[in-house]
Structure 1
Amino acid sequence: MASSILHITNGDSTTEVLSKLNFDGAVITWREMLCEGKTTIDVGSETFWKTRFEFLKTSYKTTKKAFIDYTLKEYRNLCNQKQQDEIVLWFEYDLFCQINMLAVISWLKRYRQGRKISLVCSGEIEGKKGLFGLSQLTEEELINQYNNRVVLSQDDIEYADYIWQLYCSDSPLRLETVHKFNPMSPFVYLEKSIKAHLQRFPSMKNGLNKLENHLLELANQQKFNSQEELVNAILKDQGVYGFGDAQYINKIQRLKKLFSSFDPVKLSKTGKKVLDNQLNFYGQIRSDFSYLGGSKKYSYLYIEDTQKLLKITS
């Protein structure tokens, strides 16, 4: 008798592709963005989902109904999938996916002990330059990725769970070194993602993080007729972050004092001073309610010269 398979995908676009290719097994879509907002270790618990809803409601005006319909119903569907022998994870190389992947593995470690867990993780494709998401692959490439999926050992599962625990801790400092301790890990894109995560803490030079500075640089260097054009540009030039348009619109809103216009897009005098490191914007943008994982975003500063974080003592 053939073994049964459960697929857990990184998003609806991947789920649609798998459905078209008629892969055997049930498909569940992991609909979260755990790279943003506060997270807790206990994935799937009441505390976990309450924490996530509070963040999404505050930052993205997500209604309770939308949260239940879009995220919780699919999670409950996952909870009901208990019979499969193998669980295949479909995630990508970027920070958005890698953090979600860690959370899913942590959940599987707790609730699906002893199951065979395998990973399809897109990024580099033989014979091509650049990094590719799952929805960018050809049918042949996708099937090839699936046939060459990596079966995770118990050590791999424990390692992913440990990194997830550190991500959810109230200090990001351990992440500076621990992600380098496992060079044989099958999570080949995790190190770059963790480095990118650490650069999301505010820079000591001007109080903005790497992504926020990149937004200002784009706005200053290129001509955009609208906020939409600026967002489209950074979506194409965001490196390993993998964020969506809603996340960048949210970031621009938080930086709106640094813009004098969005029709066309222009930096204000203050924005140009911040971009040139002549003015530190930390005091104006700081918030005690802004979290990256389990850590308060503005309790740490990123020092570019050493590529290290500095804890701010209050």
Structure 2
Amino acid sequence: MSSLLHITNGDNFTARLQKLNLKGDVITWREMLCEGKTLTNVGSESFWKTRFDFLHKNYKVSKSWFIEKTLKEYRSLCNHKQQDQIVLWFEYDVFCQINMLAVISWLSANRKYAEISLVCSRNVDGSPKMHRLNEVSEEQLRTLYENRTVLTQDDIEYADYVWQLYCSDNPMRLENLSDFNNFQFDYLGDAIKSHLKRFPSIANGLNDMENNILKQSLEKKPMDRNGLMDAILKNQGNLGFGDTQYDRAIKRLKPLFTSFDPVRLTRKGKTILEGKTSYYSYMRNNDVYLGGSLKYNFLYNTDSDRILKL
């Protein structure tokens, strides 16, 4: 008799999945590894200490919350040793794809005997729109589950390899990946491309996400901060970030706004958005990591779509 374990991308979907009454236990992966420093040895003491330090400093996460919400669930994963079928439920966006890589890396080291399969939302009913797992019907979820992708050993090793590169101190190693099509990760290539655009652009020192915040402010002319947040979340591409992440980003850009009620940019904010001047020297922080790389040690060339090392 085979036994099942489901690992999900977050609490909201876990609640939804439990209502489907599929066989197996459900574990929630409560992390946001797309932000802050990461180490290759997922689950190690040094890994969790690095993650807590980042979350505590930048999101005021308390030790008790971290233990109760993240470590307790991770320990539950460690204790599920009998399941020989593990199903991963992760979205197509940067947020989820990075978490997915880390989970597969951990499984490759700790659950070598298990069959690992992947369920991801996608275009449904012929719609060009990408649908999230929480946006599709129960019937469609069951269909996605029944048609899940069983990962080969090559797939698993490749995901682990990409995770190692994500945690390295040089994003140019990720940039040189070109063989995504040889593996069963439909959205990983696009997620990595979007990740690389999170390094500051050579044009104005802001990354793609930060430029989009200014762009939405100028084009949508939101009446207040909530309106700005709504515009950003609806027009963020495939980052998959939440309002807490964007709230932190807006605070970094606060000097470029004259007002948030209504939302208006300063003259300097407009010239930066136009690429006429750079904000790099104001944004530079030697303690900001994307994976294993220092964010401000690299620039992204938007003309050539290449990373430059400073």
- For this structure pair, what is the TM-score category when the shorter chain's length is used for normalisation? over 0.9
1:5 paired with 2:4, answer yes
| Cα distance in structure 2, aligned partners of 1:163 and 1:252 | 30
Once the two structures are TM-superposed, the CA of residue 75 in structure 1 deviates from its matched residue by 0.7
| Cα distance in structure 2, aligned partners of 1:123 and 1:165 | 27
1:129 is matched with: 128
Helix, strand or coil for the counterpart of 2:278?
A: coil
2:229 is matched with: 231
Helix, strand or coil for the counterpart of 1:27?
A: strand
1:206 is matched with: 204
1:62 is matched with: 61
Amino acid in the other structure paired with 2:292:
G
Amino acid in the other structure paired with 1:248:
Y
Once the two structures are TM-superposed, the CA of residue 226 in structure 1 deviates from its matched residue by 1.6
Helix, strand or coil for the counterpart of 1:122?
A: coil
Deviates more, 1:126-135 or 1:248-257: 126-135
| Cα distance in structure 2, aligned partners of 1:109 and 1:146 | 22
Aligned sequence identity (%): 57
1:188 paired with 2:193, answer no
1:288 is matched with: 286
| Cα distance in structure 2, aligned partners of 1:114 and 1:81 | 13
Matches within 5 A, 1:148-297: 148-178=147-177, 180-297=178-295
Helix, strand or coil for the counterpart of 2:120?
A: strand
Helix, strand or coil for the counterpart of 2:88?
A: strand
1:95-115 C-alpha deviation (Å, 9 max, x unpaired): 000000000000000111121
1:267-302 C-alpha deviation (Å, 9 max, x unpaired): 112211211112100000000011100000000000
Amino acid in the other structure paired with 1:151:
V
Large movers: runs of 4+ above 6 Å: none
Deviates more, 1:125-134 or 1:155-164: 125-134
Amino acid in the other structure paired with 1:175:
L
2:52 is matched with: 53
- Pick from 284, 305, 308 the counterpart of residue 306 of structure 2: 308
Amino acid in the other structure paired with 2:238:
V
Once the two structures are TM-superposed, the CA of residue 137 in structure 1 deviates from its matched residue by 0.9
| Cα distance in structure 2, aligned partners of 1:129 and 1:204 | 33
1:67-117 C-alpha deviation (Å, 9 max, x unpaired): 111111111111111111100000010000000000000000011112111
Once the two structures are TM-superposed, the CA of residue 185 in structure 1 deviates from its matched residue by 1.1
| Cα distance in structure 1, aligned partners of 2:240 and 2:123 | 15
1:29 is matched with: 28
Unpaired segments ≥5 residues, structure 2:
none
Matches within 5 A, 1:101-112: 101-112=100-111
| Cα distance in structure 2, aligned partners of 1:155 and 1:305 | 34
| Cα distance in structure 1, aligned partners of 2:237 and 2:220 | 18
Once the two structures are TM-superposed, the CA of residue 184 in structure 1 deviates from its matched residue by 2.6
Deviates more, 1:122-131 or 1:232-241: 122-131
| Cα distance in structure 1, aligned partners of 2:63 and 2:226 | 27
| Cα distance in structure 2, aligned partners of 1:271 and 1:64 | 37
| Cα distance in structure 2, aligned partners of 1:193 and 1:234 | 18
Once the two structures are TM-superposed, the CA of residue 225 in structure 1 deviates from its matched residue by 1.9
| Cα distance in structure 2, aligned partners of 1:70 and 1:85 | 25
| Cα distance in structure 2, aligned partners of 1:145 and 1:182 | 22
| Cα distance in structure 2, aligned partners of 1:124 and 1:86 | 26
| Cα distance in structure 1, aligned partners of 2:283 and 2:290 | 15
CA RMSD in angstroms comes to 0.9
Amino acid in the other structure paired with 1:70:
K
Give the TM-score normalised by structure 1: 0.97
Equivalent residues, number: 310
